[in-house]
Structure 1
Amino acid sequence: MSASGHVLVVDDDPTVAEVVARYLERDGHRVECVADGRQALRRVLDRPPDLVVLDLMLPGMDGLEVCRRLRETSLVPVVMLTALGAETDRLVGLETGADDYVTKPFSPRELALRVRSVLRRARAVPPSAGNAGILRDGDLVVDVAAHEAFRGGVRLTLTAREFDLLAFLLRHPRRAFTRDELLDRVWDWSFGDSSTVTVHVRRLREKIEDDPAAPGRIVTVWGVGYRYEPTGERP
């Protein structure tokens, strides 16, 4: 499956935007650049891209607010550009629905690899999908082939990374995984910030738990990581 596509780059620095566009085009993508958040929101509405590269620091409306507004109407994958060492910015970016982030100053080649990885994950249909493509736990149903999840018959709004994590945990009930194992096995990251996993677990809990503050499905295994605990119910 091709991992190239239409990428919208949102950055008010023309030099950065030009460099990013050049590397992404070399990687086979069609690239469009805009310089502010409001214009980006209009472009996504008018002509939805396959992925958005979004700078955190934008004039008028910053990248976090753009991402929040995107997530109200769209599941388009978002790779956010953040300042070097600004861990809080990275975590807040993931909290608002970004799928990945690259810190500045960044290697354009690394960004191109991250974009390709996020696109591939967003489009992937596992070869085991077929008969094993429906995962169930009580009122929670995950259709792997259709890349959709439902709770109580209501479709859940999940980013590609949230969906991948939920499907993986459902396939391995009652097994504890460290954060590093989840980074590697769910998203194929041989490097990365394990706090990424913490953020996605928190977001998933808000969508599938009766009480996210006292989770019964995705439970914390202290000193290890996380485990999925089936409800034992069936619709």
Structure 2
Amino acid sequence: MDKVLGLKLGADDYITKPFSLSELTARVQSLIRRYVVLGAVAEKPHCMAFGPLVIDTAHIRVTYNGENVSLTGKEYDLLYFLASNPGQIFTKKQIYQNVWQEDYAYDDNNIMVHIRRL
């Protein structure tokens, strides 16, 4: 329970006693690795990173584990919209109006098809 509470309060990691030196070393190395990867992206304000997924808004490009991901224009727009609003929940109508820039007239499967492809 302490682990869950610590993480919910904003901790990046939580380690319980007793712990081994090798576990502590591995956790520190993992945090350094994460800092280096996210630090490189932070220097590029036109990039958003979510683990191995990087959205480069300057070049309208998405990479996953360093490899380019082929997306249609609407798939990119949808991914960008969702990534720009982390933790928020949207109705299909809100997604449609923000991504397609049109009024949402009826309930079709268009949005779900695009989400499935992502």
Could you state the TM-score of these two structures normalised by the residue count of structure 1? Answer: 0.30
Show the 5 A alignment for 1:125-144. 132-144=45-57
Matched, 1:200 2:114: yes
Alignment partner for residue 83 of structure 2, among 145, 163, 170?
Answer: 170
Tell me which of the two structures has the higher relative contact order, counting C-alpha pairs closer than 8 angstroms and 6 or more residues apart: 1
Q: Once the 2 structures are TM-superposed, how far is the Cα of residue 146 of structure 1 from its aligned partner? A: 0.4
Structure 1 residue 150: Cα displacement? 0.3
The number of residue pairs the alignment matches comes to 74
Gaps of 5+ in 2: 1-43
Return the structure number with greater strand share.
1
- Alignment CA distance shift 1:178-1:194 (3 Å): farther
RMSD: 1.4
1:158 maps to 2:71: yes
CA distance in 1, matches of 2:62, 2:116: 17
Compute the displacement of 1:163 (Å): 0.2
Q: Counting helix residues as a fraction of each chain, which structure ranks higher?
A: 2
| Deviation of the 1:191 alpha carbon | 3.1
User: Deviation of residue 173 (structure 1)?
Assistant: 0.6
Q: Hey, what's the Cα distance between the residues in 2 that align with 1:194 and 1:177?
A: 16
Q: How does 1:218-229 map to 2 (within 5 A)?
A: none
Q: Which runs of 4+ in 1 moved over 6 A?
A: none
Q: Percent identity?
A: 34
**Cα distance in 2, alignment partners of residues 179 and 160 from structure 1:** 18
Deviations 1:152-196 (A, max 9, x none): 001001000000010111111110011111000112121354411
Partners in 1 of 2:104 and 2:88 — Cα distance? 23
Q: Identify unmatched segments of 5+ residues in structure 1.
A: 1-130, 205-235
Asked whether the 8 Å contact 1:180–1:194 carries over to 2, the reply is no
2:77 counterpart letter in structure 1: D
Per the TM alignment, residue 132 of structure 1 is displaced from its structure 2 partner at its CA by: 3.8
Q: 1: CA distance between counterparts of 2:108 and 2:96?
A: 7
1:49-78: CA deviation from partner (whole Å, max 9, x where unpaired): xxxxxxxxxxxxxxxxxxxxxxxxxxxxxx
Q: Secondary structure, in 3 states, of the residue corresponding to 2:90?
A: strand
Amino acid at match of 1:144: T
- 1:183, 1:194 within 8 Å by CA — same for their partners in 2? no
Code of the aligned partner of 1:142 = I
Distance 2:91 2:60 in 1: 25
Q: Which residue of 2 aligns with 1:146?
A: 59
1:184 aligns with 2:102: no
